[in-house]
Structure 1
């Protein structure tokens, strides 16, 4: 029984998290309890298969987290996203898109998809995008005669694009964890000058799959509007302009709503893809650009600035506390021989690397129902990542597969996080069943994207290879 302590530790962690306790404290507290148990059993002369030497590495791990230049991008990207949200840039952007496409069949759905894509590239936070789009666009879509399933499904699906479209916070965190896992895998194979995988590699790898998903969403909305015109009727442009209350005409609205966020996104992503800046440096450019936009729009006063800084500090503190708890959990897991146990399970699994990858993806998909992407990134990926990478899996491809897998999980009823976010802001007249029904076609599209990535890994690896 004691040789299976790593699996018991993992199951206990999942149960504690499902009980609703704070993530960081759950990870650290459970790990400390199991470390105490292992030390106690060893002191009593019982062979608990516990190597206490791993615990001595915790101060170095802690110092490494606090001085990690890659993770410095997290508070900067969060600051950029919160500033854009508070300065109403997203609202102006949606109005501009609605005016541009609203007179077409399915035009509002296309507008929501494109704005969701730009918000994903601006904020990188799934919850913020779903809530923002739900508050701004759902009432308009329902008022214009859109069917509830189509409207809610489009909003939920485009909201989850923040998981995959760079600069995504999920990719920043995945990049840091996969880089460590890749180095660990290479060292286990006797490569003592290991290569790394950077966050920029993941950003480039996610670009093509993310844009393909956007195109698939737009095609689906257009096909539904063509086959069932009553589900996505066109809107009268003059009525829409009067309803939105914008002065200066369509041209001025497009310049005001589209140009600033697009310039900001190009500045952030262009500096990374062009090799002019690291993701951390590009994040500082994005945060500064968002601050300038908020000042230009005259929507940044002292009270708003306080709210922005408080929200950024809250999210950043949460991420780093989870990082510390996850580092302690990882050390205790390895002290019990968890790495060797999982390696043995994978090596004996039928199907080799393909079978192991399928099992890992299935486990991550199911865990996405109960755990947030941060928890999965720091708890699950460090366990399975080094083993899969040592078996020859490409690190960039694995990172993109995990990101899209989690994106699909967050959209899947009945536990998808995106569904809960929209349910929280949707009118009571919208039944939960309509939300569940609406996301099913988008789930199928995302599963098709996963299959395409599995069949053609070049979709994720081609662009990073070119750079």
Structure 2
């Protein structure tokens, strides 16, 4: 068996173990070290060790000698170096800070105030409660970037209110599930930080590139919600005065000033400081974390237990991402050393694909991977397989990353493994069936595909802001 064939066997074993439910990070590390021991095995070095044993009779009984002989393989040096590389990566330093900001904001009761304010402010718009829920989801998802938290919290807060207002359960469920996934795409997105670390693309340019596509997708969602409310009023009846009372304009402005604008200002301050070069992503994330704590204290929602829980969740999630990187770097290094990456490159080049066909094929594979895997695993493990192929087709990694971020919206919305639907089902009233939620997310899934098509047809949607801010 040749080395490239061993590399493909290594990849096949990994996919099999993932489907069997083994922890992905430790599976990557185990396979990387196991196959790396074979890949970096040095026969001459082992022969010298054998000669040393034959010359020194005491060495045969020395445990130290045998341990040194076993560890006399470069895979262990590689594993240590990759671990250090991940832990010292300046881009990844922003991950725990953004996570901490999100967890603090989640526990500060800001979303309750925000939804109530937007519900009152948008009362005259068709499907006003759906619009309020969608905008709240978008803003909260942007602040946290944690899909499960946004869908669960908005499901507890907005879904009962929408059902009480006689909204169609499918329509209401789709709004919450789709809105909850927007944090993957809209900056400051943790997914984009992870992609930047995996691809070497500037995180600042990625944030600038993702802003317009994110607004395009939100725009498509809002057009669908308002348009369907106009064409089919039964799915989103106009709220009565008992459900949404009339509030004086001065009171509405005060509610916006105390709920909407503080969170919006925090997000814009973090994002603006990055885009305008006033702070690095890590420095901006530090300010965001501090701002989240200040908001929590201002709303009198910060307690020691909530702070401790936010720190614990931040550390747990950060550890998961970092160990995924360690395992992925080790696995991919061995995979490339054995010739697996070259074999895949030769296979793809032999297909004689056009750049558009390659993009469609890559996005189809990522779309299918989104069913059994989380976004973090796709970005860290499988996207690096495509990255070396991009120069062959003249595709900018920046453009590819934004397409992947859009595509990963579908992994949370596509049945039968739509995780947003399962998050919502876990806290929804008993009369809301999983089939209702699946039915409700399908139009929003179509909106994602429309956004991806828009990016394909008008690539300047991606490139305009990075070129305007930072040049070509």
Fold conserved between structures, TM > 0.5 = yes
For 2:231 and 2:161, locate their aligned partners in 1 and report how far apart those are by CA, in whole Å: 22
Question: 1:103·1:236 contact (CA, 8 Å) conserved in 2?
Answer: no
How far the C-alpha of 1:134 sits from its partner, in A, is 1.2
For 2:153 and 2:89, locate their aligned partners in 1 and report how far apart those are by CA, in whole Å: 31
Deviation string, structure 1 residues 18-64 (Cα, Å, up to 9, x no partner):
222222112112323333455689899xxxxxxx8676433332222
Question: 1:103·1:235 contact (CA, 8 Å) conserved in 2?
Answer: no
Partner of 1:71, secondary structure, is: coil
Aligned to 1:186: none
Deviation string, structure 1 residues 164-221 (Cα, Å, up to 9, x no partner):
0000100110111111xxxxxxxxxxxxxxxxx2111111111001001111111101
2:255 equivalent to 1:234:
no
How far the C-alpha of 1:132 sits from its partner, in A, is 1.5
Aligned to 2:60: none
Question: With structure 2 as the length reference, what TM-score do the two structures score?
Answer: 0.88
Partner of 1:240, secondary structure, is: coil
Question: 2:36·2:75 contact (CA, 8 Å) conserved in 1?
Answer: no
Question: 1:102·1:237 contact (CA, 8 Å) conserved in 2?
Answer: no
Aligned to 1:362: 364
Question: 1:294·1:300 contact (CA, 8 Å) conserved in 2?
Answer: yes
Aligned to 2:178: 157
Question: 1:167·1:203 contact (CA, 8 Å) conserved in 2?
Answer: yes
Partner of 1:59, secondary structure, is: helix
Which residue of the other structure, out of 86, 89, 104, is the alignment partner of 1:65?
Answer: 86
Aligned to 1:28: 29
For 2:183 and 2:402, locate their aligned partners in 1 and report how far apart those are by CA, in whole Å: 13
How far the C-alpha of 1:102 sits from its partner, in A, is 3.6
How far the C-alpha of 1:79 sits from its partner, in A, is 0.3
For 2:391 and 2:284, locate their aligned partners in 1 and report how far apart those are by CA, in whole Å: 28
Aligned to 1:262: 264
Question: 1:326·1:378 contact (CA, 8 Å) conserved in 2?
Answer: yes
Unaligned runs of 5+ in 1: 45-51, 180-196
Question: 1:138·1:151 contact (CA, 8 Å) conserved in 2?
Answer: yes
Quick check: which has more Rg, 1 or 2? 2
Which residue of the other structure, out of 139, 151, 163, is the alignment partner of 2:160?
Answer: 139
Going from structure 1 to structure 2, the CA distance change for 1:102 and 1:14 (only over 3 Å counts) comes to farther
For 1:404 and 1:412, locate their aligned partners in 2 and report how far apart those are by CA, in whole Å: 13
For 1:93 and 1:287, locate their aligned partners in 2 and report how far apart those are by CA, in whole Å: 19
Question: With structure 1 as the length reference, what TM-score do the two structures score?
Answer: 0.89
2:142 equivalent to 1:121:
yes
Partner of 1:65, secondary structure, is: helix
Aligned to 1:49: none
Going from structure 1 to structure 2, the CA distance change for 1:4 and 1:249 (only over 3 Å counts) comes to same
Aligned to 1:466: 468
Partner of 2:79, secondary structure, is: helix
For 1:424 and 1:357, locate their aligned partners in 2 and report how far apart those are by CA, in whole Å: 36
For 1:79 and 1:136, locate their aligned partners in 2 and report how far apart those are by CA, in whole Å: 22
How far the C-alpha of 1:357 sits from its partner, in A, is 2.1
Going from structure 1 to structure 2, the CA distance change for 1:363 and 1:294 (only over 3 Å counts) comes to same
Instruction: Choose 9-18 or 106-115, whichever is displaced more.
Output: 9-18
Partner of 2:137, secondary structure, is: helix
For 1:425 and 1:348, locate their aligned partners in 2 and report how far apart those are by CA, in whole Å: 49
Partner of 2:439, secondary structure, is: helix
Aligned to 1:185: none
Going from structure 1 to structure 2, the CA distance change for 1:214 and 1:94 (only over 3 Å counts) comes to same
Please give the residue correspondences for 1:107-118 in structure 2 after superposition, counting only pairs within 5 Å.
107-118=128-139
Length, aligned pairs only: 440
How far the C-alpha of 1:238 sits from its partner, in A, is 5.1
Aligned to 1:99: 120
Please give the residue correspondences for 1:213-228 in structure 2 after superposition, counting only pairs within 5 Å.
213-228=217-232
For 2:402 and 2:333, locate their aligned partners in 1 and report how far apart those are by CA, in whole Å: 26
2:212 equivalent to 1:212:
no
Partner of 1:371, secondary structure, is: coil
Aligned to 2:404: 402
Aligned to 1:372: 374
Please give the residue correspondences for 1:174-189 in structure 2 after superposition, counting only pairs within 5 Å.
174-179=195-200
For 2:398 and 2:178, locate their aligned partners in 1 and report how far apart those are by CA, in whole Å: 23
Deviation string, structure 1 residues 382-416 (Cα, Å, up to 9, x no partner):
12112213532112111000111111222111112
Partner of 2:181, secondary structure, is: helix
For 1:223 and 1:41, locate their aligned partners in 2 and report how far apart those are by CA, in whole Å: 67
How far the C-alpha of 1:307 sits from its partner, in A, is 0.9
